[in-house]
Amino acid sequence: MDNLAPAITPPKGIGDNEPSNQEVLDWVQEVVRLTTPDNIFWCDGSDEEHAYLLQEAQRLGVVTKLNEEKLPGSYLHRSKANDVARVEQFTLICTPTEDEAGPTNNWRDPAETYQQLNEMLKGAMKGRTMFVIPYIMGPPDSPLAKVGFEITDSLYVVLSMRIMTRMGSVAVKRLESSENGEWNRGVHSLLDINPERRLICHFPQDNAIISVGSGYGGNVLLSKKCLALRIGSYLARKQGWLAEHMLILGVESPEGQKHYVAAAFPSACGKTNFAMMIPPEHFNGWKITTIGDDIAWMQIGDDGRLYAVNPENGYFGVVPGTSYKSNPNAMKSIQRNTIYTNVAQTDDGDVWWEGKDGEPPQHAIDWRGNDWTPASKEKAAHPNSRFAVPQWNNPALDHDVEKGDGVPISAIIFGGRRSDTMPLVFQAFDWEHGTYVGAMMASEMTAAAVGALGQVRRDPMAMLPFCGYNMGEYFKHWLKIGPRLKNPPLIFHVNWFRKGGDGSYLWPGFGENMRVLKWIIDRCEGHGGAAETEIGYIPRPEDFDLEGLEITRETMRELFAIKGDEWKKEIAGQQEFFDNMQRFMPPELSAQRDKLAARFGS
């Protein structure tokens, strides 16, 4: 199975729905002259178009249809083995000056980069069809919604964008009625899927993205990390809102009290699981609903609260480890109309991955297309294999997911994957301290990006790979938002991944995370107790509901232990980050660091 497919010749009435916007037409013609595709396919998002593209994608081997009885409307795609994750070292921010991109981004000169890309794209779509995908990020009637156009020569991208965004004529209409006429230009070409000719380039000043040489999700679904986060964060600072790498969930008590919470974790740290969590039995009557599982766009409402929308239309979640035990709502969601990427296929056209419920099949075809048996040394599914599924499949979808003004956020949670140092949960003293806590977030690296697995790295607000401008300016933007909020969300930090002396996880996680959420909600409502510590507020034993959970007092003590020696190391690690940020760090955050160090007596 391969991404590279020859041109298709659609019948009349399909792929010929050209928009009337002259700017769009001129831009597309410019890219046509450069890339010389055999033909142009204008996507309108209709069902007929979708059926046709699915049929062609199967004929050309871009996707395989899965067992229609078991997984109706679902398909498998395999990417190249050298193209299975985001490539941060080849992700570039192209701004007029290096300082605008800042020390945490890979900066490149825009003019030089355009020139290099133009060379690479010359004739790149010869023999292929160029698809033009209009799409909206955000509920169509939201003041935050943004229109984008993605040009691509990948059928897989078209099929995925139909799931992940509101795609087609709806976007063309939105652009026609928009006041500012703002839209994002995205160009993607697979080229020859060569890691040496792979670049993901952002031009924030031009509201433009050019991605070449990859077929993998985060590199090529330009709506997602590229527009909704990198370009989005740049626009957000300019326009006074926030674009964040956060899930958004609703928590409703049995009495009908409802709160919304946004949470930032690095890629592949359980955002999707948390956003779809089912509370344990003891929390009977509590309901968790999902607004989004990856990205939050947030604006200040008239009442001085922070309001969030999910710009996306679907979930692009990590598959391995997903089961009826870890995430029943995700399992129910991915039983139909799902595109699976890089999982294993069983002989009866079903899918398999490590951590799925039930016994492994006796035989399967692994993610690379090779025979696989339970005795194989290789993994059946790639650790970063993914599902793409419309959010509408989620049984826990929140009723207000389409609300244009967004939902009011009561709490913001930051979290990383840390074996030590970080307690299960703590609350920041205030917005400024919370900004510091987010800015100092760190996490062990996962398979979502090519890199050193397991290494702890600073990942401020889980935005390290996604902030489209200088991280120091980004912190300043956060510090400015706080005072503008009459009712700012409370800010928390969680760590589901702390380990004991024997190397095993101390906290059961998954649905039991409801217990942490409950304390957070109690704090938001003003009746949850806490103890003040050097790092913030933590629940005392009597503040934290453990009923129905078998866990020893000793384990709980370990989970909440604040160890001076670990924190001395942590503060030194934070200092290292400050040093890398050189002159860009806002003085408020330096003051926060000094205060933290002082609380630990240094």
Nearer to Mn ion by C-beta: 245 or 518? 245
Cβ 492 to Mn ion shortest distance, Å: 19
Reading the block at residue 475, the tokens are: 């912190």
Residues 520-539 that bind ligand SAT (CB under 6 A): none
Cβ 544 to Mn ion shortest distance, Å: 29
86 binds, among Mn ion, ligand SAT, none (CB under 5 to 8 A by kind): ligand SAT
Establish if 267 lies at the interface with ligand SAT (CB under 6 A).
Answer: yes
Establish if 320 lies at the interface with ligand SAT (CB under 6 A).
Answer: no
Cβ 99 to ligand SAT shortest distance, Å: 26
Beta bridge partners of 134: 149
Among 15, 168, 186, 217, binds ligand SAT (CB under 6 A): 217
Cβ 293 to Mn ion shortest distance, Å: 8
Cβ 217 to ligand SAT shortest distance, Å: 4
Pairing, β 537-538 against β 456-458 = unpaired
368 binds, among ligand SAT, Mn ion, none (CB under 5 to 8 A by kind): none
Binding-site string for ligand SAT from residue 401 to residue 440, where x marks contact by CB under 6 A and - marks none: ----------------------------------------
Please tell me the distance from the alpha carbon of residue 85 to that of residue 388, in angstroms, as a whole number: 15
DSSP 8-state class, residue 182: -
Cβ 134 to ligand SAT shortest distance, Å: 20
Please tell me the distance from the alpha carbon of residue 459 to that of residue 481, in angstroms, as a whole number: 20
Please tell me the distance from the alpha carbon of residue 211 to that of residue 191, in angstroms, as a whole number: 10
Cβ 3 to ligand SAT shortest distance, Å: 15
Among 225, 305, 417, 593, binds ligand SAT (CB under 6 A): 225
| 351 phi, psi to nearest 5 deg | -115, 155
Cβ 581 to Mn ion shortest distance, Å: 23
Cβ 353 to ligand SAT shortest distance, Å: 16
Nearer to ligand SAT by C-beta: 318 or 491? 318
Question: What are the helix and strand counts (H, E) for the chain?
Answer: 16, 31
Residues 79-98 that bind ligand SAT (CB under 6 A): 86
Residue 103 carries which side chain, given as an amino acid letter?
A: P
Please tell me the distance from the alpha carbon of residue 301 to that of residue 191, in angstroms, as a whole number: 44
What is the full DSSP assignment across 113-142?
HHHHHHHHHTTTTTTSEEEEEEEEES-TT-
224 binds, among Mn ion, ligand SAT, none (CB under 5 to 8 A by kind): ligand SAT
Burial 136-155 (b: 16+ CB within 10 A, else e): bbbbeebebbbbbbbbbbbb
Binding-site string for ligand SAT from residue 439 to residue 478, where x marks contact by CB under 6 A and - marks none: ---------x------------------------------
The two most distant CA atoms of the chain are separated, in Å, by: 75
Residue 430 carries which side chain, given as an amino acid letter?
A: D
Nearer to Mn ion by C-beta: 213 or 317? 317
Establish if 214 lies at the interface with ligand SAT (CB under 6 A).
Answer: no
Give the contacts of 160 (CB within 8 A, at least 6 positions apart): 217, 221, 316, 339, 388
Q: How many residues would you count in the chain?
A: 602
Establish if 218 lies at the interface with ligand SAT (CB under 6 A).
Answer: yes
Among 315, 316, 519, 567, binds ligand SAT (CB under 6 A): 316
269: annotated active-site residue: yes
Pairing, β 490-494 against β 129-137 = unpaired
Selecting among 201, 269, 467, 524, the annotated active-site residue is 269
Nearer to ligand SAT by C-beta: 456 or 538? 456
Nearer to ligand SAT by C-beta: 316 or 577? 316
Nearest to 325 by CA among 123, 135, 511, 174: 511
Q: Which part of the chain contacts ligand SAT (CB under 6 A), choosing from 217-225, 246-254, 352-360, 496-504? A: 217-225
Number of residues that bind ligand SAT (CB under 6 A): 8
Residues 250-309 that bind Mn ion (CB under 5 A): 267, 294
- The 3-class secondary structure across 490-521, one letter per residue, is EEEEECCCCECCCCCECCCCHHHHHHHHHHHH
Residue 312 carries which side chain, given as an amino acid letter?
A: E
Establish if 165 lies at the interface with ligand SAT (CB under 6 A).
Answer: no
Residue nearest to ligand SAT (CB): 218
CA distances to 205, 258, 469 from 95, in Å = 7, 42, 8
CA distances to 187, 276, 493, 549 from 425, in Å = 42, 20, 6, 17
448 binds, among ligand SAT, Mn ion, none (CB under 5 to 8 A by kind): ligand SAT
Among 224, 382, 417, 518, binds ligand SAT (CB under 6 A): 224
What is the CB-side half-sphere exposure of residue 128 using CA atoms within 13 A? 24
Q: Please answer whether residues 389 and 73 qualify as being in contact, where contact means their C-beta atoms are separated by less than 8 angstroms.
A: no
What residue ranges bind ligand SAT (CB under 6 A)?
A: 86, 217-218, 224-225, 267, 316, 448
| Catalytically active residues, by annotation | 269
Residues that bind Mn ion (CB under 5 A): 267, 294
